[in-house]
Chain A
Protein backbone atom coordinates (compact mmCIF):
# COMPACT_ATOMS: atom_id res chain seq x y z
CA UNK A 1 0.00 0.00 0.00
CA UNK A 2 1.13 3.50 -0.60
CA UNK A 3 1.17 6.42 1.78
CA UNK A 4 -1.91 6.95 3.94
CA UNK A 5 -4.60 8.99 2.22
CA UNK A 6 -5.98 11.72 4.43
CA UNK A 7 -9.59 12.55 3.96
CA UNK A 8 -11.07 16.02 3.78
CA UNK A 9 -14.12 17.17 5.67
CA UNK A 10 -16.43 15.18 3.39
CA UNK A 11 -15.04 12.21 5.04
CA UNK A 12 -17.91 9.91 4.22
CA UNK A 13 -17.00 10.15 0.60
CA UNK A 14 -13.29 10.27 0.89
CA UNK A 15 -10.99 7.25 0.75
CA UNK A 16 -11.45 4.16 -1.29
CA UNK A 17 -11.90 0.51 -0.82
CA UNK A 18 -8.94 -1.53 -1.72
CA UNK A 19 -10.60 -4.15 -3.82
CA UNK A 20 -7.39 -6.11 -4.10
CA UNK A 21 -7.42 -6.72 -0.39
CA UNK A 22 -9.30 -9.84 0.63
CA UNK A 23 -12.39 -9.24 2.66
CA UNK A 24 -12.60 -11.46 5.73
CA UNK A 25 -15.12 -14.19 5.32
CA UNK A 26 -16.72 -13.57 8.67
CA UNK A 27 -17.96 -10.11 9.53
CA UNK A 28 -18.74 -10.07 13.13
CA UNK A 29 -20.14 -7.21 15.05
CA UNK A 30 -17.70 -6.03 17.62
CA UNK A 31 -18.63 -4.16 20.72
CA UNK A 32 -17.46 -0.62 20.96
CA UNK A 33 -15.87 -1.21 24.30
CA UNK A 34 -13.84 -4.09 23.05
CA UNK A 35 -10.20 -3.20 23.73
CA UNK A 36 -7.68 -3.21 21.02
CA UNK A 37 -5.64 -6.30 20.95
CA UNK A 38 -8.17 -8.25 23.02
CA UNK A 39 -9.47 -11.44 21.52
CA UNK A 40 -12.75 -9.71 20.73
CA UNK A 41 -11.22 -6.44 19.63
CA UNK A 42 -9.93 -5.51 16.25
CA UNK A 43 -6.77 -7.23 15.31
CA UNK A 44 -4.12 -5.71 13.07
CA UNK A 45 -5.04 -6.58 9.56
CA UNK A 46 -8.63 -7.38 10.45
CA UNK A 47 -11.66 -5.62 9.16
CA UNK A 48 -13.76 -3.71 11.66
CA UNK A 49 -17.52 -3.40 11.77
CA UNK A 50 -18.81 -0.64 13.96
CA UNK A 51 -21.97 -1.62 15.76
CA UNK A 52 -23.95 1.55 15.52
CA UNK A 53 -27.58 1.71 14.53
CA UNK A 54 -27.66 2.33 10.81
CA UNK A 55 -23.94 2.67 10.53
CA UNK A 56 -21.63 -0.04 9.35
CA UNK A 57 -18.07 0.88 9.07
CA UNK A 58 -15.76 -1.60 7.65
CA UNK A 59 -12.17 -0.90 8.10
CA UNK A 60 -9.53 -3.00 6.54
CA UNK A 61 -5.93 -3.58 7.58
CA UNK A 62 -5.57 -1.08 10.41
CA UNK A 63 -5.51 -1.25 14.15
CA UNK A 64 -8.74 -0.62 15.87
CA UNK A 65 -9.32 2.70 17.36
CA UNK A 66 -12.64 2.29 19.01
CA UNK A 67 -12.14 3.71 22.44
CA UNK A 68 -13.47 6.04 24.99
CA UNK A 69 -12.37 9.12 23.09
CA UNK A 70 -15.72 9.43 21.39
CA UNK A 71 -17.10 8.98 17.96
CA UNK A 72 -15.52 12.02 16.44
CA UNK A 73 -11.99 10.92 17.16
CA UNK A 74 -12.85 7.53 15.92
CA UNK A 75 -14.30 8.79 12.66
CA UNK A 76 -11.40 11.14 12.07
CA UNK A 77 -9.02 8.31 12.68
CA UNK A 78 -11.02 6.22 10.28
CA UNK A 79 -10.89 8.90 7.68
CA UNK A 80 -7.16 9.14 8.01
CA UNK A 81 -6.74 5.48 7.63
CA UNK A 82 -5.79 4.10 4.29
CA UNK A 83 -8.79 2.01 3.53
CA UNK A 84 -12.23 2.24 4.90
CA UNK A 85 -15.78 2.06 3.83
CA UNK A 86 -18.57 4.04 5.35
CA UNK A 87 -22.17 3.45 4.70
CA UNK A 88 -25.09 5.03 6.48
CA UNK A 89 -22.99 7.94 7.70
CA UNK A 90 -26.03 9.92 8.86
CA UNK A 91 -25.49 9.08 12.45
CA UNK A 92 -21.86 10.11 12.30
CA UNK A 93 -22.93 13.44 10.87
CA UNK A 94 -25.53 13.89 13.51
CA UNK A 95 -22.97 13.12 16.10
CA UNK A 96 -20.57 15.56 14.56
CA UNK A 97 -23.21 18.28 14.59
CA UNK A 98 -23.30 18.41 18.36
CA UNK A 99 -19.60 17.95 18.99
CA UNK A 100 -17.96 20.93 20.64
CA UNK A 101 -15.23 21.06 18.04
CA UNK A 102 -17.72 21.06 15.25
CA UNK A 103 -19.89 23.70 16.87
CA UNK A 104 -16.89 25.92 17.05
CA UNK A 105 -16.10 25.25 13.42
CA UNK A 106 -19.70 25.99 12.50
CA UNK A 107 -19.59 29.28 14.40
CA UNK A 108 -16.41 30.37 12.62
CA UNK A 109 -17.90 29.42 9.30
CA UNK A 110 -21.06 31.42 10.00
CA UNK A 111 -19.00 34.43 10.97
CA UNK A 112 -17.03 34.14 7.77
CA UNK A 113 -20.19 33.90 5.71
CA UNK A 114 -21.63 36.99 7.35
CA UNK A 115 -18.43 38.93 6.72
CA UNK A 116 -18.34 37.85 3.08
CA UNK A 117 -21.99 38.77 2.63
CA UNK A 118 -21.43 42.19 4.18
CA UNK A 119 -18.40 42.86 1.97
CA UNK A 120 -20.33 41.71 -1.06
CA UNK A 121 -23.22 44.03 -0.26
CA UNK A 122 -20.84 46.94 0.25
CA UNK A 123 -19.23 46.26 -3.10
CA UNK A 124 -22.65 46.11 -4.71
CA UNK A 125 -23.64 49.42 -3.15
CA UNK A 126 -20.37 50.96 -4.36
CA UNK A 127 -21.03 49.70 -7.89
CA UNK A 128 -24.53 51.13 -7.79
CA UNK A 129 -23.23 54.46 -6.57
CA UNK A 130 -20.77 54.61 -9.45
CA UNK A 131 -23.42 53.66 -11.96
CA UNK A 132 -26.09 56.03 -10.69
CA UNK A 133 -26.77 58.76 -13.17
CA UNK A 134 -25.12 56.99 -16.05
CA UNK A 135 -27.53 55.26 -18.39
CA UNK A 136 -27.33 51.51 -18.49
CA UNK A 137 -27.95 49.36 -21.50
CA UNK A 138 -31.51 48.70 -20.49
CA UNK A 139 -32.23 52.38 -19.99
CA UNK A 140 -30.75 53.14 -23.37
CA UNK A 141 -32.93 50.52 -24.98
CA UNK A 142 -35.96 51.85 -23.24
CA UNK A 143 -35.26 55.37 -24.41
CA UNK A 144 -35.82 54.25 -28.00
CA UNK A 145 -39.37 53.28 -27.30
CA UNK A 146 -40.31 55.95 -24.82
CA UNK A 147 -42.43 58.84 -25.99
CA UNK A 148 -41.21 62.32 -26.62
CA UNK A 149 -42.08 64.92 -24.06
CA UNK A 150 -42.29 68.65 -24.63
CA UNK A 151 -40.85 71.33 -22.39
CA UNK A 152 -42.02 74.86 -22.96
CA UNK A 153 -39.43 77.57 -22.36
CA UNK A 154 -40.58 80.53 -20.25
CA UNK A 155 -41.51 83.72 -22.07
CA UNK A 156 -38.43 85.46 -20.66
CA UNK A 157 -35.71 82.90 -21.21
CA UNK A 158 -32.91 84.74 -19.46
CA UNK A 159 -30.84 84.01 -16.37
CA UNK A 160 -30.45 87.70 -15.57
CA UNK A 161 -34.06 88.79 -15.93
CA UNK A 162 -35.88 85.57 -15.01
CA UNK A 163 -33.51 83.22 -13.18
CA UNK A 164 -36.17 81.14 -11.46
CA UNK A 165 -38.27 80.49 -14.58
CA UNK A 166 -35.20 79.69 -16.66
CA UNK A 167 -33.65 77.34 -14.11
CA UNK A 168 -36.99 75.65 -13.55
CA UNK A 169 -37.24 75.00 -17.30
CA UNK A 170 -33.67 73.69 -17.44
CA UNK A 171 -34.31 71.40 -14.46
CA UNK A 172 -37.41 70.08 -16.23
CA UNK A 173 -35.33 69.30 -19.34
CA UNK A 174 -32.76 67.53 -17.22
CA UNK A 175 -35.35 65.53 -15.33
CA UNK A 176 -37.37 64.55 -18.39
CA UNK A 177 -34.24 63.63 -20.32
CA UNK A 178 -33.52 60.72 -17.99
CA UNK A 179 -36.18 58.53 -19.57
CA UNK A 180 -37.80 60.58 -22.32
CA UNK A 181 -36.84 62.22 -25.53
CA UNK A 182 -37.23 65.94 -25.10
CA UNK A 183 -38.62 68.57 -27.41
CA UNK A 184 -37.85 72.10 -26.23
CA UNK A 185 -40.30 74.69 -27.46
CA UNK A 186 -38.77 78.10 -27.90
CA UNK A 187 -41.24 79.56 -30.42
CA UNK A 188 -43.19 81.65 -27.93
CA UNK A 189 -40.35 83.28 -26.04
CA UNK A 190 -40.24 87.05 -25.95
CA UNK A 191 -36.73 87.55 -24.52
CA UNK A 192 -33.60 85.47 -24.82
CA UNK A 193 -30.39 85.85 -22.87
CA UNK A 194 -27.04 84.38 -23.96
CA UNK A 195 -26.48 82.91 -20.49
CA UNK A 196 -29.73 80.93 -20.77
CA UNK A 197 -28.61 79.55 -24.14
CA UNK A 198 -25.26 78.57 -22.62
CA UNK A 199 -27.02 76.87 -19.71
CA UNK A 200 -29.33 74.98 -22.04
CA UNK A 201 -26.38 73.79 -24.13
CA UNK A 202 -24.43 72.73 -21.05
CA UNK A 203 -27.36 70.61 -19.85
CA UNK A 204 -28.25 68.88 -23.11
CA UNK A 205 -24.62 67.92 -23.74
CA UNK A 206 -24.15 66.37 -20.31
CA UNK A 207 -23.22 62.72 -20.01
CA UNK A 208 -26.48 61.82 -18.31
CA UNK A 209 -28.33 62.95 -21.44
CA UNK A 210 -26.40 60.57 -23.66
CA UNK A 211 -28.84 58.45 -25.63
CA UNK A 212 -31.61 60.97 -25.20
CA UNK A 213 -32.79 62.80 -28.25
CA UNK A 214 -33.10 66.49 -27.50
CA UNK A 215 -34.63 68.68 -30.14
CA UNK A 216 -36.07 72.15 -30.23
CA UNK A 217 -37.48 74.81 -32.48
CA UNK A 218 -36.60 78.40 -33.25
CA UNK A 219 -38.15 81.45 -31.65
CA UNK A 220 -40.79 83.08 -33.83
CA UNK A 221 -39.20 86.45 -33.19
CA UNK A 222 -36.56 87.11 -35.85
CA UNK A 223 -34.28 89.05 -33.47
CA UNK A 224 -34.34 86.27 -30.90
CA UNK A 225 -33.66 83.75 -33.65
CA UNK A 226 -30.64 85.79 -34.65
CA UNK A 227 -29.43 85.84 -31.04
CA UNK A 228 -29.78 82.05 -30.81
CA UNK A 229 -27.82 81.61 -34.03
CA UNK A 230 -25.20 84.13 -33.03
CA UNK A 231 -24.36 82.63 -29.65
CA UNK A 232 -22.47 79.73 -31.16
CA UNK A 233 -25.13 77.27 -29.99
CA UNK A 234 -25.23 75.60 -33.40
CA UNK A 235 -21.51 74.89 -33.33
CA UNK A 236 -22.39 72.19 -30.81
CA UNK A 237 -25.78 70.88 -32.00
CA UNK A 238 -27.06 69.74 -35.39
CA UNK A 239 -29.72 71.60 -37.24
CA UNK A 240 -31.94 70.37 -40.05
CA UNK A 241 -31.35 71.83 -43.48
CA UNK A 242 -28.81 74.36 -44.65
CA UNK A 243 -28.36 77.37 -42.45
CA UNK A 244 -28.42 80.88 -43.74
CA UNK A 245 -25.51 83.25 -43.27
CA UNK A 246 -25.28 84.13 -39.60
CA UNK A 247 -23.12 86.67 -37.96
CA UNK A 248 -20.74 84.99 -35.57
CA UNK A 249 -21.34 86.94 -32.42
CA UNK A 250 -20.43 84.36 -29.90
CA UNK A 251 -18.24 81.46 -28.93
CA UNK A 252 -18.88 78.58 -26.61
CA UNK A 253 -16.15 76.46 -25.12
CA UNK A 254 -16.43 73.25 -23.25
CA UNK A 255 -13.53 72.17 -21.08
CA UNK A 256 -11.04 69.69 -22.46
CA UNK A 257 -10.43 66.17 -21.32
CA UNK A 258 -7.90 67.26 -18.73
CA UNK A 259 -10.57 69.33 -16.96
CA UNK A 260 -7.86 71.70 -15.84
CA UNK A 261 -7.69 75.46 -15.87
CA UNK A 262 -7.14 76.48 -19.47
CA UNK A 263 -5.43 79.87 -19.90
CA UNK A 264 -5.62 79.53 -23.68
CA UNK A 265 -9.43 79.35 -23.59
CA UNK A 266 -9.60 82.38 -21.32
CA UNK A 267 -7.33 84.25 -23.70
CA UNK A 268 -9.37 83.33 -26.79
CA UNK A 269 -12.69 84.29 -25.21
CA UNK A 270 -11.49 87.64 -23.88
CA UNK A 271 -9.63 88.49 -27.09
CA UNK A 272 -12.64 87.47 -29.22
CA UNK A 273 -14.93 89.70 -27.17
CA UNK A 274 -12.57 92.65 -27.51
CA UNK A 275 -12.27 92.11 -31.24
CA UNK A 276 -16.05 92.29 -31.64
CA UNK A 277 -16.26 95.32 -29.38
CA UNK A 278 -13.32 97.35 -30.66
CA UNK A 279 -12.46 95.81 -34.01
CA UNK A 280 -8.97 94.80 -32.94
CA UNK A 281 -7.93 91.73 -31.04
CA UNK A 282 -6.65 92.90 -27.70
CA UNK A 283 -6.62 91.75 -24.15
CA UNK A 284 -9.18 92.36 -21.43
CA UNK A 285 -7.42 91.65 -18.18
CA UNK A 286 -10.41 91.63 -15.80
CA UNK A 287 -12.36 89.13 -17.93
CA UNK A 288 -9.27 86.95 -18.30
CA UNK A 289 -8.75 87.07 -14.53
CA UNK A 290 -12.41 86.23 -13.83
CA UNK A 291 -12.34 83.28 -16.22
CA UNK A 292 -9.15 81.97 -14.63
CA UNK A 293 -10.61 82.30 -11.14
CA UNK A 294 -13.88 80.56 -11.99
CA UNK A 295 -12.05 77.74 -13.76
CA UNK A 296 -9.74 77.34 -10.77
CA UNK A 297 -12.65 77.29 -8.32
CA UNK A 298 -14.41 74.66 -10.41
CA UNK A 299 -11.27 72.54 -10.53
CA UNK A 300 -10.71 72.80 -6.80
CA UNK A 301 -14.17 72.70 -5.26
CA UNK A 302 -16.98 71.86 -7.68
CA UNK A 303 -16.58 68.10 -7.91
CA UNK A 304 -18.45 65.79 -5.57
CA UNK A 305 -15.35 63.78 -4.73
CA UNK A 306 -11.72 64.76 -4.58
CA UNK A 307 -10.82 62.33 -7.35
CA UNK A 308 -13.05 63.69 -10.05
CA UNK A 309 -13.11 67.10 -11.65
CA UNK A 310 -16.22 68.86 -12.80
CA UNK A 311 -16.73 69.94 -16.39
CA UNK A 312 -17.45 73.54 -17.20
CA UNK A 313 -18.63 75.74 -20.04
CA UNK A 314 -17.32 79.21 -20.81
CA UNK A 315 -19.06 81.35 -23.41
CA UNK A 316 -19.03 84.85 -24.76
CA UNK A 317 -21.63 86.66 -26.84
CA UNK A 318 -21.48 90.08 -28.41
CA UNK A 319 -24.75 91.93 -28.02
CA UNK A 320 -24.47 94.45 -30.86
CA UNK A 321 -27.63 96.35 -29.93
CA UNK A 322 -26.36 97.18 -26.46
CA UNK A 323 -22.67 97.24 -27.42
CA UNK A 324 -21.78 94.73 -24.72
CA UNK A 325 -19.90 91.46 -24.61
CA UNK A 326 -21.60 88.94 -22.31
CA UNK A 327 -19.48 86.29 -20.59
CA UNK A 328 -20.98 83.22 -18.95
CA UNK A 329 -19.22 80.57 -16.95
CA UNK A 330 -21.19 77.46 -15.93
CA UNK A 331 -20.33 74.37 -13.97
CA UNK A 332 -22.69 71.63 -12.87
CA UNK A 333 -20.84 70.75 -9.70
CA UNK A 334 -22.01 70.92 -6.12
CA UNK A 335 -22.37 74.69 -6.20
CA UNK A 336 -20.52 77.21 -4.04
CA UNK A 337 -22.92 77.01 -1.12
CA UNK A 338 -22.61 73.24 -0.91
CA UNK A 339 -18.88 73.11 -1.50
CA UNK A 340 -16.71 71.79 1.28
CA UNK A 341 -14.58 74.93 1.81
CA UNK A 342 -17.67 77.11 2.08
CA UNK A 343 -19.40 74.76 4.50
CA UNK A 344 -16.25 74.77 6.60
CA UNK A 345 -16.25 78.56 6.60
CA UNK A 346 -19.81 79.04 7.75
CA UNK A 347 -19.67 76.23 10.29
CA UNK A 348 -18.77 78.72 12.99
CA UNK A 349 -21.72 80.99 12.17
CA UNK A 350 -24.61 78.55 12.01
CA UNK A 351 -27.51 80.92 12.74
CA UNK A 352 -26.14 84.21 11.48
CA UNK A 353 -27.50 84.08 7.94
CA UNK A 354 -31.20 84.39 7.28
CA UNK A 355 -31.16 82.79 3.85
CA UNK A 356 -28.80 81.53 1.17
CA UNK A 357 -28.97 84.81 -0.72
CA UNK A 358 -27.40 86.51 2.27
CA UNK A 359 -24.66 83.88 2.43
CA UNK A 360 -23.79 84.56 -1.19
CA UNK A 361 -23.87 88.30 -0.57
CA UNK A 362 -21.49 88.03 2.39
CA UNK A 363 -19.22 85.83 0.36
CA UNK A 364 -19.09 88.35 -2.49
CA UNK A 365 -18.39 91.15 -0.06
CA UNK A 366 -15.55 89.16 1.46
CA UNK A 367 -17.22 89.13 4.87
CA UNK A 368 -16.90 85.40 5.46
CA UNK A 369 -13.27 84.80 6.38
CA UNK A 370 -11.51 81.62 5.47
CA UNK A 371 -11.51 78.94 8.17
CA UNK A 372 -7.72 79.22 8.42
CA UNK A 373 -8.00 83.03 8.68
CA UNK A 374 -5.61 83.26 5.77
CA UNK A 375 -6.51 86.36 3.82
CA UNK A 376 -4.82 85.13 0.70
CA UNK A 377 -7.29 82.24 0.37
CA UNK A 378 -10.81 82.45 -1.04
CA UNK A 379 -10.27 85.65 -2.97
CA UNK A 380 -12.00 84.55 -6.18
CA UNK A 381 -15.58 85.76 -5.70
CA UNK A 382 -14.72 88.82 -3.55
CA UNK A 383 -12.34 89.91 -6.29
CA UNK A 384 -15.03 89.39 -8.93
CA UNK A 385 -17.32 91.68 -6.93
CA UNK A 386 -14.50 94.15 -6.40
CA UNK A 387 -13.89 94.17 -10.15
CA UNK A 388 -17.55 95.11 -10.63
CA UNK A 389 -17.35 97.78 -7.90
CA UNK A 390 -14.38 99.38 -9.63
CA UNK A 391 -16.26 99.35 -12.94
CA UNK A 392 -13.96 97.00 -14.80
CA UNK A 393 -16.91 94.71 -15.58
CA UNK A 394 -20.65 95.38 -15.62
CA UNK A 395 -23.82 93.56 -14.65
CA UNK A 396 -22.21 90.84 -12.53
CA UNK A 397 -24.64 88.00 -11.74
CA UNK A 398 -23.76 84.96 -9.64
CA UNK A 399 -26.08 81.98 -9.19
CA UNK A 400 -25.05 79.22 -6.82
CA UNK A 401 -27.46 76.49 -5.75
CA UNK A 402 -30.64 78.38 -4.84
CA UNK A 403 -28.95 81.73 -4.21
CA UNK A 404 -29.07 84.60 -6.70
CA UNK A 405 -26.89 87.69 -6.61
CA UNK A 406 -27.23 90.58 -9.03
CA UNK A 407 -24.60 93.22 -8.31
CA UNK A 408 -26.13 95.84 -10.62
CA UNK A 409 -29.54 95.66 -8.95
CA UNK A 410 -28.04 94.87 -5.53
CA UNK A 411 -30.44 91.95 -5.36
CA UNK A 412 -29.35 89.04 -3.17
CA UNK A 413 -32.12 86.53 -2.68
CA UNK A 414 -32.94 82.90 -2.24
CA UNK A 415 -34.70 81.36 -5.21
CA UNK A 416 -37.60 78.92 -5.08
CA UNK A 417 -35.77 76.56 -7.41
CA UNK A 418 -32.44 74.86 -6.88
CA UNK A 419 -29.63 74.77 -9.39
CA UNK A 420 -26.94 72.18 -8.95
CA UNK A 421 -23.82 74.12 -9.81
CA UNK A 422 -22.56 77.64 -10.22
CA UNK A 423 -23.13 80.29 -12.87
CA UNK A 424 -21.11 83.48 -13.14
CA UNK A 425 -22.22 86.07 -15.70
CA UNK A 426 -20.73 89.46 -16.47
CA UNK A 427 -20.61 92.00 -19.25
CA UNK A 428 -17.97 94.37 -20.57
Chain B
Protein backbone atom coordinates (compact mmCIF):
# COMPACT_ATOMS: atom_id res chain seq x y z
CA UNK B 1 0.00 0.00 0.00
CA UNK B 2 1.47 3.30 -1.12
CA UNK B 3 2.05 5.94 1.54
CA UNK B 4 0.19 9.13 0.89
CA UNK B 5 1.93 12.46 0.88
CA UNK B 6 1.59 14.64 4.00
CA UNK B 7 1.10 18.39 4.03
CA UNK B 8 1.66 20.20 7.33
CA UNK B 9 -0.21 23.13 8.81
CA UNK B 10 0.66 24.53 12.24
CA UNK B 11 -2.08 26.90 13.40
CA UNK B 12 0.16 28.73 15.90
CA UNK B 13 2.75 29.44 13.19
CA UNK B 14 0.58 30.36 10.24
CA UNK B 15 -2.41 31.90 11.97
CA UNK B 16 -2.22 32.80 15.68
CA UNK B 17 -0.99 31.53 19.03
CA UNK B 18 -4.20 32.82 20.55
CA UNK B 19 -7.05 31.47 18.39
CA UNK B 20 -10.21 33.40 18.95
CA UNK B 21 -13.97 32.95 18.77
CA UNK B 22 -16.29 31.46 16.18
CA UNK B 23 -17.09 34.41 13.93
CA UNK B 24 -15.34 37.57 12.82
CA UNK B 25 -17.96 39.73 14.56
CA UNK B 26 -17.10 38.21 17.91
CA UNK B 27 -13.44 39.15 17.89
CA UNK B 28 -10.03 38.80 16.33
CA UNK B 29 -8.33 35.58 15.18
CA UNK B 30 -11.69 33.95 14.58
CA UNK B 31 -12.33 30.48 13.17
CA UNK B 32 -14.23 32.00 10.29
CA UNK B 33 -11.16 33.99 9.32
CA UNK B 34 -8.90 30.96 9.68
CA UNK B 35 -11.19 28.80 7.57
CA UNK B 36 -11.58 31.30 4.77
CA UNK B 37 -8.02 32.58 4.56
CA UNK B 38 -5.90 29.50 5.27
CA UNK B 39 -7.59 26.19 5.94
CA UNK B 40 -9.82 25.97 2.88
CA UNK B 41 -6.96 26.73 0.48
CA UNK B 42 -4.56 24.27 2.11
CA UNK B 43 -7.21 21.58 2.30
CA UNK B 44 -8.06 21.94 -1.38
CA UNK B 45 -4.36 21.61 -2.20
CA UNK B 46 -4.23 18.38 -0.22
CA UNK B 47 -7.33 17.02 -1.95
CA UNK B 48 -5.95 18.00 -5.36
CA UNK B 49 -2.76 15.96 -4.88
CA UNK B 50 -4.51 13.24 -2.87
CA UNK B 51 -2.47 14.05 0.22
CA UNK B 52 -3.30 14.22 3.93
CA UNK B 53 -3.25 17.60 5.60
CA UNK B 54 -1.70 17.22 9.07
CA UNK B 55 -2.97 20.06 11.25
CA UNK B 56 -0.62 20.69 14.16
CA UNK B 57 -2.50 22.09 17.16
CA UNK B 58 0.56 22.60 19.36
CA UNK B 59 2.24 25.91 20.03
CA UNK B 60 -0.88 27.92 20.81
CA UNK B 61 -2.38 28.80 24.17
CA UNK B 62 -5.49 26.74 23.61
CA UNK B 63 -8.58 26.35 21.48
CA UNK B 64 -12.14 27.21 22.26
CA UNK B 65 -14.74 24.64 21.27
CA UNK B 66 -16.35 27.19 18.98
CA UNK B 67 -13.09 27.77 17.15
CA UNK B 68 -12.46 24.10 16.44
CA UNK B 69 -16.05 23.43 15.51
CA UNK B 70 -16.39 26.36 13.17
CA UNK B 71 -13.02 25.77 11.51
CA UNK B 72 -13.15 22.01 10.95
CA UNK B 73 -16.90 21.42 11.19
CA UNK B 74 -17.28 24.38 8.87
CA UNK B 75 -14.84 22.75 6.48
CA UNK B 76 -16.98 19.61 6.49
CA UNK B 77 -20.05 21.70 5.78
CA UNK B 78 -18.34 23.40 2.84
CA UNK B 79 -16.93 20.19 1.41
CA UNK B 80 -18.19 16.80 2.64
CA UNK B 81 -17.64 14.90 5.86
CA UNK B 82 -16.11 11.97 4.00
CA UNK B 83 -13.68 14.15 2.03
CA UNK B 84 -12.54 15.87 5.20
CA UNK B 85 -12.10 12.58 7.05
CA UNK B 86 -10.06 11.17 4.17
CA UNK B 87 -7.78 14.13 3.73
CA UNK B 88 -7.16 15.58 7.19
CA UNK B 89 -5.50 14.48 10.41
CA UNK B 90 -4.49 16.18 13.60
CA UNK B 91 -1.46 16.27 15.83
CA UNK B 92 -1.37 17.56 19.38
CA UNK B 93 1.25 16.46 21.86
CA UNK B 94 0.27 19.11 24.40
CA UNK B 95 -3.46 18.35 24.41
CA UNK B 96 -3.89 14.88 22.85
CA UNK B 97 -7.65 14.77 23.51
CA UNK B 98 -8.17 17.55 20.96
CA UNK B 99 -7.76 15.12 18.05
CA UNK B 100 -10.78 13.06 19.05
CA UNK B 101 -12.77 16.17 19.86
CA UNK B 102 -12.17 17.64 16.41
CA UNK B 103 -13.12 14.42 14.64
CA UNK B 104 -16.35 14.46 16.67
CA UNK B 105 -17.05 17.98 15.49
CA UNK B 106 -16.43 16.94 11.90
CA UNK B 107 -18.74 13.95 12.26
CA UNK B 108 -21.52 16.07 13.75
CA UNK B 109 -21.08 18.99 11.39
CA UNK B 110 -24.05 18.03 9.29
CA UNK B 111 -26.87 17.47 11.72
CA UNK B 112 -30.29 19.03 12.16
CA UNK B 113 -31.01 22.01 10.01
CA UNK B 114 -27.42 22.08 8.66
CA UNK B 115 -28.13 18.79 6.93
CA UNK B 116 -31.41 20.04 5.52
CA UNK B 117 -29.77 23.20 4.21
CA UNK B 118 -27.41 21.13 2.12
Residues of A participating in the B interface, judged by any CB pair closer than 8 Å: 258, 260-264, 266-267, 270-271, 283-289, 292-293, 295-296, 299-300, 370, 372-376, 379-380, 383, 390
Kindly state whether residue B66 has any CB partner on chain A within 8 Å: yes
Is A261 in contact with B20, judged by CB distance below 8 angstroms? yes
Instruction: For residue A184, give the distance in angstroms from its CB to the closest CB of chain B.
Output: 34
Report how far A292 CA is from B66 CA in the complex, Å.
Answer: 8
Select A286's contact among B16, B19, B62, B111, beta carbons within 8 Å. Answer: B62
Select B62's contact among A264, A289, A300, beta carbons within 8 Å. Answer: A289
User: Can you name 9 extra interface pairs (CB under 8 A) apart from A271-B61, A373-B112?
Assistant: A263-B61, A264-B18, A283-B94, A285-B98, A289-B63, A292-B64, A292-B66, A376-B73, A379-B66
Report how far A317 CA is from B61 CA in the complex, Å.
Answer: 19
Select A267's contact among B61, B67, B94, B112, beta carbons within 8 Å. Answer: B61
Kindly state whether residue B95 has any CB partner on chain A within 8 Å: yes
Known: A261-B21, A370-B112, A376-B108. A299 touches B62 (CB 8 A): no
Interface residues of B in 1-56 (CB under 8 A from A): 16-22, 26-29
Is B94 in contact with A285, judged by CB distance below 8 angstroms? yes
Interface residues of B in 67-118 (CB under 8 A from A): 67, 69, 73, 94-95, 97-98, 105, 108-109, 111-114
- Residues of A close to B109: CB separation below 8 A: 376
Is B111 in contact with A283, judged by CB distance below 8 angstroms? no
- Residues of A close to B65: CB separation below 8 A: 289, 293, 379-380, 383
Residue of B nearest to A293 (CB): B64
Report how far A288 CA is from B60 CA in the complex, Å.
Answer: 10
Instruction: For residue A103, give the distance in angstroms from its CB to the closest CB of chain B.
Output: 57
Residue of A nearest to B64 (CB): A292
Q: List 18 A-B contacts (CB under 8 A).
A: A258-B27, A263-B18, A263-B21, A263-B27, A263-B28, A266-B61, A267-B62, A270-B61, A283-B62, A284-B62, A285-B61, A292-B63, A292-B64, A293-B64, A372-B113, A376-B73, A376-B108, A383-B65
Report how far A374 CA is from B110 CA in the complex, Å.
Answer: 8
Select A299's contact among B27, B29, B73, B114, beta carbons within 8 Å. Answer: B27
Is A263 in contact with B20, judged by CB distance below 8 angstroms? yes
Is B66 in contact with A372, judged by CB distance below 8 angstroms? no
Is A300 in contact with B26, judged by CB distance below 8 angstroms? yes
Is B62 in contact with A379, judged by CB distance below 8 angstroms? no
- Residues of A close to B62: CB separation below 8 A: 266-267, 270, 283-289, 292
Query: Sorted from nearest, which 10 A-B pairs have the closest CB atoms?
Result: A288-B62, A373-B112, A292-B64, A261-B27, A263-B18, A285-B62, A260-B27, A374-B112, A261-B21, A375-B108
A258, A295, A376, most chain B CB atoms within 10 A: A376
Is B108 in contact with A260, judged by CB distance below 8 angstroms? no
- Residues of A close to B113: CB separation below 8 A: 372-374
Report how far A292 CA is from B27 CA in the complex, Å.
Answer: 10
Instruction: For residue B69, give the distance in angstroms from its CB to the closest CB of chain A.
Output: 5
Report how far A135 CA is from B111 CA in the complex, Å.
Answer: 48
Report how far A390 CA is from B17 CA in the complex, Å.
Answer: 25
- Residues of B close to A379: CB separation below 8 A: 65-66, 69
- Residues of A close to B20: CB separation below 8 A: 261, 263, 292
Is A262 in contact with B27, judged by CB distance below 8 angstroms? yes
